[in-house]
Amino acid sequence: MVSMKLLQQLAKKHGTPLLVVDHDEIRRNYATFRKYLPRVQAYFAVKALSEPAVVQTLFQAGASFDVASMPEFRIVHEFIRDMPAKERQDWIWDKIIYAHPIKADATLRELNPYKPLVTYDNHEEIRKIAKHAPQAGLVLRLKVLNTGAMVELSSKFGAAPGEAVDLILEADRAGLVVEGLSFHVGSQTTNFDNFVQAINLAANVFEEARARGYTKMNLLDIGGGFPAPYDKSVKPFRELARKINAELDRLFPPEIQILAEPGRFMVATAATAVSTIIGMAVRDGKLCYYIDDGVYHTFSGILFDHCTYHFGAFRKGRTEICTVFGPTCDALDVVSMSENLPANLERGDLLYSRNIGAYSIASSTCFNGFPPAKVVHVNQK
C-alpha cells in the first residue's frame, strides 16, 4: 500500500486528479492467484486497467493476457514484437486470448495472421470466423449463472448449454478447430457456487462432445469474476480457490489446460486516487465537498461497475457525514452521499480513495472538457 506521505508528495509534484498505481501490489496479487490456483494460468483482463506499464509488470511476472479489442491486443503485442517470428507466434497462441464473443469483420481479418485463440457463442460468429479468420482456434463461451455478481454478463454473452455441442460440431464442419470451452460467472462474484456450477456444466458439455465424436478440446477457460477485497464482506480468495481446485481436480484430467481471466482481482487494490477539494457548501444542513475528480473520470465505476468508493483525508479533525460531488456541471456527478470526513477541511486540501485500480480510469471520459486523472506508477522494476 502506498503511504499517505508518498501520496502527498506525488500530488504536490504532479497535481490532481491523480491515480497512483503500486506495482508491488500487482505482483503480490498475481503471486496470490498463482499460489492458490496453481493449475490455472492467469490471463490478465487488460480492460480492467489497460496501462502498458501494468501489462509489462504482469508480462514479467509470467502472466498471459485476455484482450477484447485490437487496441488491447496491440498493447500486449508491443512486448513481444522483438521476439523471433516462430517464438512470437507460439507466444501469441499460448499467452493471448481474444475473449470477446462478437467481433467485427475487420477485427477478424486483422487477427487472422496471428493464428489467435478467440471466443464465440453463436452460429453467425462461426460463419464470420470461417470467412475472415480461418487460422483462429476457437473457444466456445457458455452461458452460466451470474447470481450474486456485481456486474451480470450472461444476458449479453454465452451459448445455452443445450446448443453448445451443436455449435462445436458446426464449427468443426466449417473447417475450424474448437480448442475448448469458456464461461464467465459475472464480475466481482461473491457467490462462489457460481464457479462450482459452471465448472460442472462445462464438464457435462465436454462429455457430450466426446460422446458425439468431437475429441479435439483440450482447454477450459474459467473466466473472470474473482472478487477483490473491497470490504470485509468479501470472503478470502483462498476459500474460492479451494472450491475451484476441488472441482477441477475431480472433473478435468491433468492434460486439460485451465485458463482464467482475472482483471479486477489483479489491479483493484493496486491503485489509489488523490483529489483536491475545489469548493464547499452546506446544502439542507449537510456539508458538501466538491473535488476535481468524479464519476465521469476516475470514479466512473460508480456508474458502470456498481462500485462504492470511500474517502480518507490527510487533515485530521472532528468528522461528520458529508456529500462528495465531482467537478462537472451534471447533477449525476455525485461521488458519495455519505462520507465520514473531517468537517474542517478547506479548499486545496486533499482526499484519497483506495482500491480504485479496476474499471476506474478504464471508462473515464472528458465530459465538460475536464481531463482524466494523471496516472503515476510506483515500485516498477
pLDDT, tens digit, for every residue of 38-85?
A: 999 999 999 999 999 999 999 999 999 999 999 999 999 887 766 666
Mean pLDDT of the chain: 92
pLDDT of amino acid 180: 97
Residue 231 confidence class, pLDDT cut points 50, 70, 90: confident
**In sequence order, what are the residues at sequence separation of 6 or more whose Cβ sits closer than 8 angstroms to the Cβ of residue 3?**
none
Distance, CA of 203 to CA of 198 (rounded, Å)? 9
- CA dihedral for 7, 10, 15, 21, sign (positive or negative): negative
Mean pLDDT of 1-21: 96
Is pLDDT at 29 greater than 80 in this prediction?
A: yes
The segment(s) of the chain belonging to CATH 3.20.20.10 are: 24-267
DSSP string spanning 32-90?
A: HHHHH-TTEEEEEEGGGS--HHHHHHHHHHT-EEEESSHHHHHHHHTTTTTS-HHHHHH
Catalytic annotation present for 322: no
Mean pLDDT of 120-139: 97
The segment(s) of the chain belonging to CATH 2.40.37.10 are: 4-19+269-378
Question: 82: exposed, middle or buried (C-beta count within 10 Å: 0-12, 13-18, 19+)?
Answer: exposed
What percentage of the chain carries pLDDT values higher than 90? 80
Is pLDDT at 343 greater than 70 in this prediction?
A: yes
137-142 and 117-120 strand pairing: parallel
Q: Active-site residue among 288, 307, 322, 329?
A: 329
Residue 91 confidence class, pLDDT cut points 50, 70, 90: low
24-267 belongs to which homologous superfamily?
Answer: Alanine racemase (3.20.20.10)
What percentage of the chain carries pLDDT values higher than 70? 93
4-19+269-378 belongs to which homologous superfamily?
Answer: Lyase, Ornithine Decarboxylase; Chain A, domain 1 (2.40.37.10)
Query: Rounded to 5, what percent of the chain is helix, strand, coil?
Result: 40, 25, 35
Is the preceding peptide bond at 17 cis, omega within 30 degrees of 0? yes
pLDDT of amino acid 307: 86
Distance, CA of 258 to CA of 326 (rounded, Å)? 42
**In sequence order, what are the residues at sequence separation of 6 or more whose Cβ sits closer than 8 angstroms to the Cβ of residue 377?**
21, 23, 51, 53, 54
pLDDT of amino acid 187: 78
Is pLDDT at 129 greater than 50 in this prediction?
A: yes
pLDDT of amino acid 90: 62
Is pLDDT at 88 greater than 80 in this prediction?
A: no
From first CA to last CA, the distance across the chain in angstroms is: 17
pLDDT of amino acid 152: 46
pLDDT of amino acid 204: 96
